[in-house]
């Protein structure tokens, strides 16, 4: 019988959080992305073709 392995979080951390943003709202690239950068956090921005993304491609390229 194999011994049960226990996961150890790196650097003593106790959990993880996944930040996701949907629909490519203007506030995501205008406010959210810059705040995440200041806090040294990352997130996933889900962009749909129906979200007006094509009107803000330059801003989204900057976020990427």
Q: Does residue 26 lie within any of the structural domains?
A: yes
Mean pLDDT by runs of 10 across the 64 residues of the chain is 84 93 90 96 87 79 86
The 8-class DSSP code of residue 55 comes to G
**Widest distance between CA atoms in the chain:** 59
At 37 the pLDDT is: 95
Contacts of 22 (CB under 8 A, 6+ apart): 46, 48
Q: Does residue 2 lie within any of the structural domains?
A: no
Q: Does residue 23 lie within any of the structural domains?
A: yes
DSSP of 9-50, one letter per residue? Answer: -GGG-------EEETT-HHIIIIIHHHHHHTT---EEE--TT
At 11 the pLDDT is: 92
Name the residue range of residue 56's domain. Answer: 10-63
When divided into structural domains, the chain yields a total of: 1
At 1 the pLDDT is: 67
Q: Does residue 4 lie within any of the structural domains?
A: no
At 5 the pLDDT is: 84
Q: Does residue 47 lie within any of the structural domains?
A: yes
């Amino acid at each position: 019988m194999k011994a049960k392995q226990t996961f150890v979080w790196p650097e003593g951390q106790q959990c993880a959080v996944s930040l996701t943003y949907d629909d490519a709202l203007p506030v995501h690239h205008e406010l959210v992305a810059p705040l995440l950068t200041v806090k040294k956090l990352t997130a996933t921005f889900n962009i749909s073709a129906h979200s007006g993304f094509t009107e803000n491609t330059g801003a989204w390229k900057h976020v990427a």
